[in-house]
Every structure is written in structure tokens, then in C-alpha cells.
A and B are shown apart, each in its own frame.
Chain A
Amino acid sequence: MGKKAGIHSLLKRIWEKYNILLGLLVLFIFSSLVSEAFLTARNLLNVMRQVSINGIIAIGMTFVILTAGIDLSVGAMLAMVGCLCAGLIKFNGLGFILVLLTGLGAGLLMGAANGIVITKGKIQPFIVTLATMTSIRGLAFLYSKGRPIVLGDSTPSTLQFIGEGYIGPIPVPVVLFLAVLALSSFILRRMVLGRYVYAIGGNEEAARLSGINVDFYKTVVYALSGLFVALASLIAIGRLGVGNADLGLGYELNAIAAVVIGGTSLMGGIGTVEGTFIGAVILGILNNILNLLGVGSFFQQILKGIIIIIAVLLSKKRT
């Protein structure tokens, strides 16, 4: 009897800690069984490449959500950085390194601007980033004059490598995704910034009273989100060969979905980037297997919503 109870509580502990991972595992096994096209190296690498852009954005979003914030402007920033980089290449003839630095810098600045307005203006992040989502999207349209900035053959080879290349058998976007994951995990687990992020999200007032410069660290977090978005944007234009102001419409919702499926609480303070990674992969596999099975797109959207609810229900039990 005692032994049984022991096993039971052990199973419960495992379930509580790893239910997202188990969810991924179940989805993976199910997918392998129902479609012979799923479990092939080519398909799995495709899926991983498909999730890289959303994954990188979602990891930045995780930092923001851990501080009990939200960043709705990620899709617009993706478009802005994409247009800017494509424009710098096409109209100004800039080399890759300058384009890279300007692009990342632009993402960082836009993110920091979000953070400064939120902290100094004391306005809710939802409202601020809702506003900047519109303005930045408008700026992208203005800069590109509403037309796609087509790079075509003038795409720098390094940029193309970032979007389309391989390191060994692994697509470069996947390598970058994993690198961003590792870096973020390190920041959250081992660095002061990470501790403060959890502290601010757990109880902002307590964090402030204990001497943490809350405004500064919150701004850093939004800047980090902008920076990651900029990286995702470089991958996107490397892949697409075009900078377009309508890039990333609705991507903020995909990113938030990955974060939430990954078990991070929108109330802040609880969650991990590893969870977000799994959340992004779950969404990617879901897209992939529903396509492979030929499930109609309207049904796919319904199902995705249901999965998000189920995931949140599961992670709710945990807390």
C-alpha cells in the first residue's frame, strides 16, 4: 500500500513538472502513427525550421510575460525591421554587417521605447504595445511605400544563409532558435536579470521595495523582446527575399499562444523559456500534422484554439 502511494505521488510529481513535455510526446507519437509522412528527417527538420521564427519571438515574449507584461507590437516590429533591412540593402547598398547591426539596433530601440513609455508613463503594457503595434506597422508601410521591397538576387549571401542555409543537416534558423533558447535559459537561471524578472513578475511592489530598479529592468525586458524580434526578422527576410510591411500580421498571438501553452502564467512570475520552446514546437507539429492529414483550414483554427485552452487547463492544475 505504502509503496503504491509512493509511486502515485511520484507519478503526480512527474506529471506536474512535465505535463507539457508529455503533451508534446503524445502529439508526436499520435502524429507518427496517423501519417507515414510525419516521421521523416526531412519533415521534422522542416517543422523545426517552420517554428523557429515564432519560437524566437515567443522566447522574447516569455521575458515580457514573466514580468506580468505583454508585447503586442512584435508582429509590427518584425515588419518594420524587415522593411528597414531590405531597404538598406536595396536602396542604400549597405553590406550585411551594417544591415545586421542596424536591424538589431532598430529592434532594440523600438523595444526599449515600449519599455520607457510603459514605465515612465505608467501606462499598461497592453495599451502601450497596442498603440505601438499600429504606429510601427504604419511606419513600415510608410517606409516601404506600401510595396514589397524585393531583394531577389541582391540578397546578401550571408542573409540568405541565415534564412535558408544549413549547418550540417540542421537549418540555420533552427540553430539560431536553439542558441536564443540556451542564452535565454542562462539569463533566467544564472543571471541577475533573470532573478529580477521573476521577482518583478512575482510581486512588483515587493521587488521595488527591496531595491530593484524595476523600471530599468522592465525596459531591458522589452528591449530584449525587440532584439529577438529583429533577429527573427532577419531570418524571415533571408528566407523570403523580400521585406514587406504586411509581414507578421497576427504573429503576436502565435507568440503568446506558444508562451501560454508552454506553461507561463500571464500573471507573471511563473514560467520558463524551455516551456515556451515546447509550446512553439507543439503549435508547429499541430500545423504540420493537420496539413499532412488534409484537415480543412477552418477546422484547424478551431482545433488550435481548443488546444490552447486544454494546455492552460493542464498548467493551471499545476499551480
Chain B
Amino acid sequence: MIKNKLSFKAVAVIALLLCSITLSSCKKVEQKKFLIGFSQSTMIDPWRINMLEQMKDAVQKNKDMIDFIFTDGQNDNMKQISDVEDLFSKGIDLLIISPREAEPLTPVVERVYNAGVPVITLDRNITSDAYTCFIGASNFKIGQGAGTLMASLLKEAGQVIEIEGILGATPTIDRSDGFHSIADSIPGIQVVEKQPADYLREPALKIMEDFLQSHPQIDGVYAHNDEMALGVLTALKAAGREGAVVIGIDGQKEAFESIMAGRMTATFIYPNGSAQAVEVAIKILKGAKVPKKIELESQLVNNSNVKLFYNPNSYF
């Protein structure tokens, strides 16, 4: 008897659960909103978390007309392909994607685009033209900017260390190639060491400690992002060799603070374009024409202009 009662209760609970689920899935009868799906490549990186947060802010401002859903590719091309497929199954009206890598993500984005769903590629593009609009900044140009700045600050002579991002990743390649396209053409500038620290502070700190041991003279350090530049600064400070030029990329709040304190030389803001992406998405959904490519300008930030860009309340 007791058992029967128990199982009756269990059935009742399950039935209630099922009812509530069915009800909750029925509630979206109101006015039709557009569903924007965002496929982010990874969320390990604060810059990419910031991209998502700013996108959510932009969506929030337009919440009466758009719903938003996002996925995290967990730094894995296969996972991100699955994510795009899932978003497509979900029935999104527009896809915003920041592909982890161009080539592998191209076919799945093509399928979505060819099925009539507009696609905005953000930060990194795909290899075909099966997208509506690309929004992003040029890592190669930023690398060139860093190379030019390094050469002029060192008066075209000096030993430079390069701290790279994740090996094989497109931004690493572009930030490196851009830098070398300038640095290698100036005989006085020697890139004496080059090591990846995966865009992370702690590995950059360790690598820099080793280089400080092996190189009595270091005039400049080019780090592929601010996070690593900050690690480099810690190592320089600990070794009492803070005179070196340190250039980073991204425009992280902490890097700005370091520039204001006179420790870091400069950084290049690498804009994430998420606010623009939502803006362009709304235009597309309303049927307006948008350009195929929107190139975001980078900005050199140094001691002379850092106050203009510093925002103590920024996520990043």
C-alpha cells in the first residue's frame, strides 16, 4: 500500500513537471521577435568574454525586437561546427559568428547562409563569400603598427623579444607577420627570441624570466596581447630591468593602468565590434542594405592619450 502511494506521488510529480515544461514552452505566442544566434569560438579569453558581454548589452537595448542565444565553441573547431548546426536547428533568424578558424568553419556557415539565414562574421572571417557582412580589425595592420612603433622608439637599433600567442592561431600568425614585415626590414632591429605564451600572463612571466637570464641586454618586448605584456612587466620589475620598451595589443583596462603608471609603453586597442554587429544585425533583419565589410580601426594608446580611453567600469 505504502509503495503504491509513493509511486502515485512520483507519477503526480512527473506529470506536474511535464505540464510545467509544456506550458513554459508554449508561452512564446506574443509578438514575433527576431532570434539572433551568436557562435563564440571560446570563452577562455577575457577579450572574448567582454565581446559577449558587450553584445548582450547591445541586445538588451533592443530587447523588444530581438531574442538572443549564444554558444561557446570551447576553442575547438569541431565543437563550433556543432554549435552552428545546433543554432540552425533552433531556427535562428540571423547568425553572428566569430569563427575559431576560417577554413574549418566555412562549409557549415555556407550551409546556413545558403538556407537563407543572414550571417555576420565577427573578428575573423570565413574563406568564401557566403556571408552578409564581415566586421573586424586587421591583426596584420596592428602588427605593422607595433613594428613601426618599436623601430622608432628604439631608434632603429636594439634587441627585441617577441612573446607570441597560441601557436597556429590566425591572430598569432597575423600579429607576428605584421610585426616582422616591418622589423625584419630594419637591420638594426633584431628579434632575438620568439616564444609562445598562449595569450596568458603566467606563461609569459616564466618565459620572460628565462630570457632575462639568457639575455643581458633586452631593449624591447613585443607581446601579442596585453595579458602577456603584463606578465613581461612583472618579470622585468622583479629583475630590476624596467627600462625596456613593452608593447602589447588589445587595450585591456589593466594595461591602460600600467601605461598611466609609466610602466608599460603602449598598446593597440583591438576592437571586438560586438556593438556594431548587433546594430548591423538589426539593419539586416529590417531589410536594409549593409556593406560587405566593415573594418574596425585600431587605436594606438600610450602615455599621451591613455586617459581618453581608460574606463574604470569596463569589463575588460
Contact = CB atoms under 8 A, between A and B. Distances in A.
A151 B82 CA distance: 21
Nearest to A150: B103
A150 B173 CA distance: 14
B82 A141 contact: no
A34 B25 contact: yes
A37 B168 contact: no
B72 interface: yes
A128 to B, nearest CB: 25
A294 interface: yes
A298 B43 contact: yes
Given A148-B101, A164-B107, A245-B167, A33 B18 contact: yes
A37 B103 contact: no
B90 A242 contact: no
Contacts of B167: 141, 146, 245-246
A19 interface: no
A292 B86 contact: yes
Nearest to B43: A297
A55 B126 CA distance: 28
A197 to B, nearest CB: 29
Contact of A146 (B22, B103, B168): B168
B87 interface: yes
Contact of A50 (B21, B72, B74, B82): B82
B187 to A, nearest CB: 25
Given A33-B18, A240-B104, A249-B75, A148 B89 contact: no
B257 interface: no
B21 A33 contact: yes
B90 A37 contact: yes
Which bracket fits the contact residues of A?
Answer: 35 or more
A53 interface: yes
Contacts of A146: 167-168, 196
Contacts of B69: 294
A119 interface: no
Nearest to B22: A33
A142 to B, nearest CB: 11
Nearest to A297: B72
B168 A141 contact: yes
Interface string A3-45: 0000000000000000000000000000001111110101100
B85 interface: yes
Contacts of A185: none
Nearest to B173: A147
Interface string A34-78: 111110101100100010010000000000000000000000000
The dominant DSSP class at the B interface is helix
A239 interface: yes
Contacts of A141: 167-168
Interface string B141-170: 000000000000000000000000011110
A241 B75 contact: no
A242 B101 CA distance: 10
Contacts of A102: none
Contact of B78 (A239, A245, A291): A239
B5 to A, nearest CB: 15
Contact of B86 (A144, A244, A288, A296): A288
Interface string B125-137: 0010000000000
Given A33-B21, A242-B103, A247 B77 contact: yes
A241 B101 contact: no
B111 to A, nearest CB: 10
A169 interface: no
B109 interface: no
B64 to A, nearest CB: 18
B32 to A, nearest CB: 15
A152 B127 contact: yes
A52 B140 CA distance: 37
Contacts of B70: 294, 296-297
Contacts of A46: 82, 85-86, 89
A236 interface: yes
A53 B168 contact: no
A48 to B, nearest CB: 11
B212 to A, nearest CB: 24
Contact of B74 (A144, A246, A297): A297
B81 A239 contact: yes
B95 to A, nearest CB: 13
B190 interface: no
A187 B71 CA distance: 39
A138 to B, nearest CB: 11
Nearest to A241: B103
24 contacts: A34-B21, A37-B90, A46-B86, A50-B81, A53-B78, A146-B167, A146-B196, A151-B103, A152-B103, A164-B107, A239-B81, A240-B78, A240-B103, A240-B104, A241-B103, A241-B106, A244-B104, A245-B167, A246-B169, A249-B76, A288-B89, A296-B72, A298-B72, A300-B72
Given A38-B89, A246-B166, A294-B90, 12 more contacts: A33-B22, A37-B89, A40-B89, A50-B78, A141-B167, A141-B168, A249-B75, A250-B76, A287-B82, A288-B86, A291-B83, A296-B70
Interface of B: 18, 21-22, 25, 43, 69-72, 74-79, 81-83, 85-87, 89-91, 101, 103-104, 106-107, 127, 166-169, 173, 196
Q: Which 7 A-B pairs have the closest CB atoms?
A: A297-B72, A240-B104, A291-B86, A294-B69, A146-B167, A43-B89, A50-B82
